[in-house]
Structure 1
């Protein structure tokens, strides 16, 4: 088992803590903590397990480490953007979650 699995588990724990905090306080800070933690779980899982045949066209020729770095940089930029403009966070989360879910379903059908 790779150490990346432990990162995903840690991020899932952060999602749980963020969800508890958000639903207990219903504050904007709690909502951002919850949604950004979910976004980072999706990014970490995609960086670890994204199959080469489903790579987006700009990333087809990238090495796996470059793809992980690209996703990490995108995650940092999205997180900063989410704090600057909290209203678009849900749209960004959907834009990330839909492709990850589609790839998951296609992989499970194999």
Structure 2
């Protein structure tokens, strides 16, 4: 009986230790997906920089494509949500915000 209790405790502890990693990876997937949706929205609403927005969106999509199926679903849902609402993490996408996102150091990895 004690062995079963130790086993259950060990499994529970292992699941709790692994959960922040899963949550972080899910948030990363949502962030990349939302960025791709924002770039699609910005390409349609900010004339003159469509090429840069499309390039950023394409590179974000390549990163999404390499994700596991669960993370990919999270990213695609975030992409659609950002595009449909015209919002990126709660902030309305206007011309200035689109350009800030495109130049943000967080996303420079897409332009290497």
Q: When the two structures are superposed, what TM-score results if normalisation uses the length of structure 1?
A: 0.35
Structure with max Cα Rg: 2
Structure with the larger helix share: 1
The higher-RCO structure (CA 8 Å, 6+ apart) is 2
TM-score, length-normalised on structure 2? 0.35
